[in-house]
Amino acid sequence: MTALPAADSPAGIPADVLAGSAQTHTVFNQVPDLAHYNLFETDATLRTALDRVGGGWHAETLSTFGARLGQPDVQAWAADANRLTPELHTHSRTGERIDQIAFHPAWHELLTLLRSQQLQSLPFAQPRAGAWAARTAGYFLQSQIESGSLCPTTMTFASIPVLRKEPALFRDLEPRLYAAGHDARDLPWREKTAILIGMGMTEKQGGSDVRANTTVAMPVRGEGRGAEYALTGHKWFFSAPMCDAHLVVARMGAADGPLSCFFVPRFRDDGSKNPILIQRLKDKLGNRSNASSEVEFRGATGILIGEEGRGIPTIIEMATSTRLDCVIGSAGLLRAGLVQALHHARHRMAFGRLLADQPLMRNVLADLALESEAATLLMMALANAFEQADDDPLAAAWKRVVTPAAKFWICKRALEATGEAMEVWGGNGYVEEGPMARLYREAPVNSIWEGSGNIMCLDVLRALQRNPEDGARILQDLARLANGHAAVRAELASLQAMLREPAEHLEASGRRFAQGLVLTAQAALMLAHGDPESAEQFVASRLGRQHGRVFGTLDADSGTLLRIANRAWPA
């Protein structure tokens, strides 16, 4: 007996045929998410550098932290915090001005993770040899997972040396700044167990030119350091407005008065809200999990920090630390992009072979690996310099001169490298469901924040002008590290010749000098501390042929390229 077609089948097509046609293909050759891996244990360059500069005592903690960061739930927090962005609530239901910011719970989970590692205070809370390197390594690991939560962490960290100079205030701040926990409650800072500190410098008319600021501070009570003032004015980039207090630059007494620095809490000591009115949140390209804002001060209470009229030097002290964090954060983006590219290439087939087995792709991956390794070595060398700077003139020279040069170069390389890593993924990297689009959007902020490229290069030259002996110290140290390598020796001679040029010509060549200084420093560090094969490839590509702006142009055989990539992240 012949079965009749189902009554609702179009054109009389049997139901079993229709059911089968619903499946047109099977899913294969798609790359699984990178998860369940240890960010610390898989990074030989980081582990070796940590030991070398005295931070090995922190390795076990970093290993536990690295394993936690590689778990899917932490990666989901990062995605959620950037997709479900902060919301500003200026008023309560009944009309009171509250200026509160609501965050997705994932944001608070990320901050809890950061605080558990004391990344906002480690060298100050645990002052021992290698503490700067230990904190740098932890910050580097978290930056590979999520960047927005690093902003208030960095500012809090940078505020500590400034605030420690105010003993009366710091006695109450210290336990809350050093706390290994996160307190999300919107309360006066004295009622909290842990606090965050932000910064307020930039105004509409000034940008990087803080001397153009017009916010005015009028005296209210007391004189000198610790006196109370009322601030009136605005800030164009106020990061991050949910912090418990901010260090703010304002003019003393009049629009043309001297610039000073003030501690401005969200709440006054009587528990009332300090009149810091959030006008709006910035709709940013990246760093979307973190709130940045425009604010007005309408007689906001501020406490004078430091000496009157010394606001710029006070803020510069903070900026030096935040610039180091820009270097670390961008080095973290380089590492994250490299690892994602390697993971993808080792799983994705094209034209009958894994991408990782194809010669040109191997060249790209190896080149990205060299860039990441050199950035990591420089990052750790700078961390060590920050720790030693008070007692060692060479370390102080590295801190003053190489930090802005590294911020200039490594932050720019992160822009290019994250784009290249996205290209390894192809179209899959361009969609928001994966991590590559967020990595790429994050990359520009470190180049812009705390001084864009030209500012950094000019700061390099100013540092050398103020301390002419610094240049000689650094170049001699690089020569020592390179152990007479011909290419490094030639680059050092070129840098020395540039320093003898007229000031105006040298300023016009500031980017070329800063780039040359960083590449020479990275080459010397690779020769001194890296794998010899990788070091020679770095020197040949970056110095010997003045490496251009395209990854994948190494002169090396396939075996060398494979070894470089495998050393970066074991297959």
Model pLDDT for residues 369-408, shown as the tens digit of each residue: 999 999 999 999 999 999 999 999 999 999 999 999 999 9
170 shares its domain with 231: no
216 shares its domain with 144: no
Nearest to 39 by CA among 110, 126, 143: 143
- Per-residue three-class SS string for 531-566: CHHHHHHHHHHHHHCCCCCCCCCCCCCHHHHHHHHH
pLDDT score for 46: 98
pLDDT range class, residue 210, cuts 50, 70, 90 = confident
pLDDT score for 12: 60
300 shares its domain with 413: no
User: How much is the average pLDDT of 142-151?
Assistant: 97
pTM of the model: 0.94
Q: Would residue 82 count as lying in a domain? A: yes
Instruction: For residue range 285-336, list pLDDT tens digits in order.
Output: 999 999 999 999 999 999 999 989 888 888 888 888 999 999 999 999 999 9
pLDDT score for 4: 47
User: How much is the average pLDDT of 135-145?
Assistant: 98
Q: Would residue 346 count as lying in a domain? A: yes
CATH number for the domain that contains residue 449 = 1.20.140.10
Q: Select from 189, 214, 232 the last residue of a domain.
A: 189
pLDDT score for 19: 60
Lowest mean pLDDT across 17-31, 132-146, 492-506: 17-31
User: How much is the average pLDDT of 188-201?
Assistant: 96
pLDDT score for 414: 97
Report whether pLDDT(8) > 80.
no
477-485: list long-range contacts, CB under 8 Å, 24+ apart. 477/394, 477/398, 478/520, 478/521, 478/524, 479/524, 481/524, 481/525, 481/527, 481/528, 482/523, 482/524, 482/527, 482/528, 483/527, 483/528, 485/523, 485/524, 485/527, 485/539
Report whether pLDDT(511) > 90.
yes
Taking residue 227's Cβ as centre, other Cβ atoms within 10 Å add up to 16
Rounded to whole angstroms, the Cα distance separating 545 from 550 reads: 13
Q: Would residue 530 count as lying in a domain? A: yes
Please give the tally of structural domains in the chain: 3
Task: List, in sequence order, the alpha helices (H) in 40-166.
Answer: 44-52, 59-69, 72-83, 105-116, 122-125, 131-143, 150-163
Q: Which residue has the tokens 């087995």?
A: 357
Q: Select from 309, 341, 374 the last residue of a domain.
A: 309
Lowest mean pLDDT across 14-23, 137-146, 182-191, 550-559: 14-23
DSSP letter assigned to residue 196: -
Residue 511's domain spans which residues? 313-568
420 shares its domain with 564: yes
Rounded to whole angstroms, the Cα distance separating 77 from 105 reads: 8
Q: Would residue 20 count as lying in a domain? A: no
Q: Select from 173, 189, 205 the last residue of a domain.
A: 189
Report whether pLDDT(546) > 80.
no
pLDDT range class, residue 534, cuts 50, 70, 90 = very high
Q: Where are any strands of DSSP class E within 136-265?
A: 197-200, 216-221, 228-239, 245-252, 259-265
